[in-house]
Amino acid sequence: MASVADRNLVDRRDGAGSGLAAGTARRLGEAAPWVVLGVLGVWSAVALTEQFVVGIIVGSLYALAAVGLTLIYGIARVSHFAHGDVMMLSAYIGFFAFTGSVAGAGASDVTLPLGLASLPGATERIWLFSFGYGLVLAILIAAVAAVPILLAIDRAVYRPLLSRGASTAIVAVSSLGVAIAVRGVMLLVWGPSGRRYSQGIRDTVELPGLPRIVADQLFILATAAILAMAAYVLLYRTRLGTAMRATADNPDLARASGIDTGSVRRWTWAVAGFLTAVAGCLLALQSQLSPELGFVLLLPIFASAILGGIGSPHGAFIGGLVVGVIGETTVGAGWIGPGYKLAVTFVVLIVVILFRPGGLFGSRS
């Protein structure tokens, strides 16, 4: 937050020094990324509808995870490099809750007789989705299970470090260690090969004016939208949300005004964990379960949070969608090979940060 304040000071000095023209130029510079992204967004939605839709689907997964990441950074003060792996771990917990399967000693799985899939009618498919109510329950279980896991990691690793005055870099590196440990757990329990919630080919739907998409992807979009709205209401319409935002702005002042910042911190991990776990399960539904996938996606998720302005939840959500759409549409247009998806995303990120160092929504806070 100090950096934002500093920059505002510098900006004001610039404005006062070089007069009205400089002020206008600065405002234009700050508006430029919005204009460019807006034009690109509309153009790609019209010209590259297919890639745009895929971008929104993938982006909504980034978005949910990035909201969790940005809350953790803003309130708990942790650059959480274990975020991708925790996301994947949650997806595996969902898988376990659903099937009861863990990797056995040999090549075959051991299936415990307590998976939700064994409930009567749990795998009977809802509408055109590839899954029944069993998986929905499993996702809820995974989301709830992520809360104590993240709280325990915070209690065991980050809080002791922070209370001893460890620097941001030390905490960030410790979270990298947590990431590796979490990945190890996934490898140990579920083995290295890819897994899926449902086998075989999934049903697709064709909506008027839209490209054909897999029915499960509608579920992903709807769930992401509902959770985003719920997070918005929580943060901007409840006392807890107000306390969280106050703590993010200035922890000392928040504490002085009687906010229990310890409790706010725990709630932050809980909310972030819930969102991230659901994002992980939806990712597994879209792609697959693989112990490495979470860490690979950590980069675009961080890019989403930074693009939106790190610490800003609505910024992270928009950032996630932008990162998803840029990744898919730039390669879809055929200008550049698909191998450079992430590279293009980061060029856009750097350009936006050059014009708006605080990210798209950063300078407002």
Partner 1 sequence: MAMALRWGEGGRRDGRWLGGRVVRAVGAAALVVPLLAGTVLQPAAAQGGEPLRIGTIFPFTGDLSDFGPNFYNAAELAVSQINEAGGVNGQPVELLRGDSATSPQQTVEEARRLIDIEGANALIGGVASGEALQVVESVAGPDGVLVISPSATSPALTTVNDNDFFFRTTISDAAQGVVMADVARELGYQTACVLYLNSAYGQGLTEAFVAGFTAQGGEVTNQVPHEQEQASYASELAACTETEPDVLVGVSYPESAGVYLRELVESGEAPALLLSDGLRSEDLFEGLGWESFEGTVGTSPGSEQSETGSAFQAAMEETYGELPSVPYLAEVYDAVYLIALAAEAAGSNDSTAIRDALRDVAADGTPAVPGSEEYTAAVEAIGAGEDIDYQGASGSLDYDENGDVARGAIVVWAVEGGAITVRETRPLDLTAGATASPQATPSA
Comparing CB distances to partner 1, the nearer of 80 and 341 is 341
> Contacts with partner 1 in 70-129 (CB under 8 A)?
107
Beta pairing class for 204-205 and 109-111: unpaired
Using the rule CB under 8 A, is 208 a contact of partner 1?
no
Cβ atoms of 46 and 313 closer than 8 Å: no
Token pair, residue 283, equals 């990712």
Cβ 124 to partner 1 shortest distance, Å: 19
57 near partner 1, rule: CB under 8 A: yes
Contact with partner 1 (CB under 8 A) among 192, 260, 335, 364: 192
Count residues binding partner 1 (CB under 8 A): 48
Tokens 């897999």 belong to residue: 214
Specify the DSSP element, H or E, that contains 205.
Answer: strand 204-205
For partner 1, the binding residue among 27, 155, 212, 364 (CB under 8 A) is 212
Query: Is 276 within 8 Å of 31 (Cβ atoms)?
Result: no
| Residue 205 makes contact with partner 1 by CB under 8 A | no
E strand or H helix that includes residue 228: helix 215-237
Q: Which is nearer to partner 1, 91 or 307 (CB)?
A: 91
307 binds partner 1 (CB under 8 A): no
> Quick one: 235 or 284, whose CB is closer to partner 1?
284
Q: Is 309 within 8 Å of 358 (Cβ atoms)?
A: yes
Q: Which of 80, 159, 245, 341 binds partner 1 (CB under 8 A)?
A: 341
Residues 251-290 that bind partner 1 (CB under 8 A): 251-252, 283, 286-288, 290
Q: Could you tell me whether strands 101-103 and 109-111 are parallel, antiparallel, or unpaired per DSSP bridges? A: antiparallel
**Which residue in 11, 50, 109, 249 binds partner 1 (CB under 8 A)?**
50
Phi-psi label, residue 198: left if phi above 0, alpha if psi -120 to 50, beta otherwise: beta
DSSP 289: B
201 binds partner 1 (CB under 8 A): yes
Q: Which one of 3, 8, 18, 193 is in contact with partner 1 (CB under 8 A)?
A: 193
Helix, strand and coil content of the chain, in percent to the nearest 5, comes to: 75, 5, 20
**Contacts of 102 by beta carbon, 8 Å cutoff, 6+ apart:** 96, 109, 110, 112, 189, 190
Cβ nearer to partner 1, comparing 287 with 363:
287
Measured distance CA(126)–CA(229) in Å, rounded: 24
Q: Which of 67, 71, 97, 214 binds partner 1 (CB under 8 A)?
A: 214
What type of residue sits at position 65? A
- Which residues in this chain contact partner 1 in the complex, by CB under 8 A? 50-51, 54, 57-58, 61, 107, 163-166, 187, 191-196, 199-202, 204, 212, 214, 251-252, 283, 286-288, 290-293, 296-297, 327-329, 331-332, 334, 337-339, 341-342
